[in-house]
Amino acid sequence: MAIARLVRQAKRPHGLWVKMAAVTVMGLCFIFVWGVFSSSSSSVVSQRESFEDIAEPVSSSSSSSHKPQKLRDESKKGGESEKKSKSNGNGSSHSSATRPHSEQHKGKDSKKEKKHVQHKEDKEKGNHQGSEEPQPQHGQEEKEKENVKEEVEDEEEKVDRESDVDVDADGGSDLAEFVDKDDSSEVVEDVEEFRKKSKGKIKGPLFDPNASYSWKLCSSRSKHNYIPCIDIEVGGGKVTSYRHTERSCPRTPLMCLVPLPHEGYGSPLPWPESKLKILYKNVAHPKLAAYIKRHSWLMESEEYLTFPQNQSEFKGGIHHYLESIEEMVPDIEWGKNIRVVLDIGCTDSSFAAALLDKEVLTLSLGLKNDLVDLAQVALERGFPAVISPFNRRRLPFPSQVFDAIHCAGCSIPWHSNGGKLLLEMNRILRPGGYFIMSTKHDSIEEEEAMTTLTASICWNVLAHKSDDVGEVGVKIYQKPEGNDIYDLRRKKIPPLCKENENPDAVWYVPMKTCLHPIPSGIEQHGAEWPEEWPKRLETYPDWVNNKEKVIADTNHWNAVVNKSYISGLGINWTSIRNVMDMKSIYGGLAVALSQQKVWVMNVVPVHAPDTLPIIFERGLIGMYHDWCESFGTYPRTYDLLHADHLFSRLKNRCKQPVSIVVEMDRITRPGGWTIIRDKVEILNPLEEILKSMQWEIRMTFAQDKEGILCAQKTLWRP
């Protein structure tokens, strides 16, 4: 009746004011009702601090609270099975240390949340507190969880958050995969709101504790030499070439085990014996057999492939070749001024072998051609090598890091496609660095094109000599040290790159036909030439603004290696030569192992903070990589893999995290080792995965929810 009376009054002259008052009253009522019914929903979202929090039941008063039901069920199932797997793992016969009891993890959700909130508050106040990492059972390790690691992990969290969109677009797992498809749109909005408020990604279970694994051999065309992201597999018909010209990974991650060579596999010869001879059956390949027949510096002797000293494809010997380079350019002091070298093509590993005697660390780059199998020979001998396409995309290295780049018998068309390939060399070459190119058959047209191109990028020709003894023409170029010379060019071709063009962005980034400006400020890496080796290992330039973290990282790994890894894990280090640090930060592990006769490939994940320039500055080598994909190397090429909190940092980036373990099995030699440090909830299912591959678990230890796992690969194949 009151409403009808208001309507009748609205028809009168003063009804307009009555109508406005009625609308205002109804609006206030609506806001009040909406606020009452929506408050519980918003409070639930704002309090979520981890993946487990989503599993908690929420108020039914919220219209969106019932949407993530499947997500909560998955989390509950994972939690229950995780407890079950922990209780089942306590009696493992392979374990040499006691695992934490499952009772320690019961009923601690509220405590976890309180600790997380408290830790978050501490970080905001700048009060970072270190926590202890697991210690081996005989007390070989000190307290290892220092402030540097906690701060770096915070930086990784930030990088992860910044790359959320890119990761999902590039095939990474998205949270919507865990949710009912019918309600996916509303749930994604809810998740995005949570991400903004919690300032982090939801951490899901990396491995399914209930999963069981049954393995089979890969049936690839390249058989025992299968490299997933480089070998092309086409069903039906004959393919003339099975090598990609660009990196291209399978649509589904690799979930099979690469077979051993048909002729059998033998344990590699220990270093330095492997420098002179290797087991031929470990690297046998038809293309390699044809190459041996054409080159006398490679000899097949019984079951071995031998490499006579001072023999190489350079007539006169490799030592004569290196000495002639130093004579042409005296500033090239191998092992002092020149420490880190990139060898393009990997045609002759004697170059890397001879430079190693001079304290030069040479990384050989195997290309996609008939000689790519020599990269496998180099790795079998114990020299650093990696396989990467070199066509349209940038190489997985930062800018301004290599002291010198060498290309022997260069048949690469540097001048084609606007000089993109040479501009890529210019990107990764240190200012003032040297580009050494040797050719046997000079072409007048190609030489003129190369001269024009090098002049356009202001490379200075330091020497051009045709060696009568070696019958090799050698040209040595030097990259300019400053930008002033670029302004003197008559034609600004190629142009300078735009200011927003990041020279260190490389993962699936196309090469650019532009010149990156040379660093000029002390805050930029590459602005100054590093100290002579070995001083540069412990000398930090002005652009390294976190020297304390680098020093702390070095001290941390020195303590771990000396007190635990060398004598506490049962590893025979005389059989270890090729080592990979799968998640390197500042190269601390490589520095700690420098007293051992090993070399370390420092891998910086693409989602982690970019610390790779610091690693190169210290005279070490490394590369960027996304562990959701296969690594660019042959099977059975590494003696030891080290993964420090790699899996916990991956979170939900990869579609099938198990494929990372499959990749570790692929690139590890039979008899090789892996050392994994991570959270207990990750190590427990990870141990079962390794056992399903018949790896021998040599040691496990856990303390304060952190653990270490050491395992050794066997000769077993399904």
Q: Is the pLDDT of residue 50 over 50?
A: no
How many angstroms separate the Cα of 433 from the Cα of each of 428, 460, 527, 662? 10, 11, 12, 39
Placement of tokens 């099995």 in the chain: 665
Calpha distance 79→205 (Å, rounded): 9
Across the chain, mean pLDDT equals 76
Q: Which of 319-323, 372-376, 542-546 has the lowest mean pLDDT?
A: 372-376
Instruction: Report the SS3 class of residue 621.
Output: strand
Class of domain 312-518: alpha beta
Q: Name the residue ranges covered by the structural domains of the chain.
A: 312-518, 547-713
What are phi and psi for residue 118, nearest 5 degrees?
Answer: -65, -40
Placement of tokens 């205002």 in the chain: 24
Q: What is the DSSP string of 493-505?
A: -SPBPPTT--TT-
59 or 106, which is more confident: 106
Note the Cα 406 to chain centre separation in Å: 24
Note the Cα 676 to chain centre separation in Å: 15
Question: Considering only CA atoms, which of 372, 375, 374, 439 is closest in space to residue 408?
Answer: 439
Q: Quote the pLDDT of residue 346.
A: 78
pLDDT, tens digit, for every residue of 314-369? 777 888 889 999 999 999 999 999 999 999 987 778 899 999 999 999 999 998 66
Q: Quote the pLDDT of residue 68.
A: 29
Q: Quote the pLDDT of residue 147.
A: 52
Q: Which of 133-142, 216-225, 458-467, 603-612 has the lowest mean pLDDT?
A: 133-142
Q: Quote the pLDDT of residue 186.
A: 31
Burial class for 169, CB neighbours closer than 10 Å (0-12, 13-18, 19+): exposed
Q: Quote the pLDDT of residue 295.
A: 82
Same fold across 312-518 and 547-713 = yes
76 or 704, which is more confident: 704
What is the percentage of the chain residues whose pLDDT exceeds 90? Answer: 50
Local confidence band at 413 (pLDDT 50, 70, 90 cut-offs):
confident
pLDDT, tens digit, for every residue of 565-620? 999 999 999 999 999 999 999 999 999 999 999 999 999 999 999 999 999 999 99
436 or 247, which is more confident: 436
Out of 144-158, 195-209, 329-343, 467-481, the most confident range is 329-343
Question: Considering only CA atoms, which of 277, 266, 224, 217 is closest in space to residue 715?
Answer: 266
Calpha distance 179→458 (Å, rounded): 57
The strand order across the sheet containing 277-279 reads 277-279, 304-306, 299-301
Whole-model pTM?
0.75
Q: Is the pLDDT of residue 273 over 60?
A: yes
Domain at 547-713, CATH homologous superfamily: Vaccinia Virus protein VP39 (3.40.50.150)
Calpha distance 278→267 (Å, rounded): 10
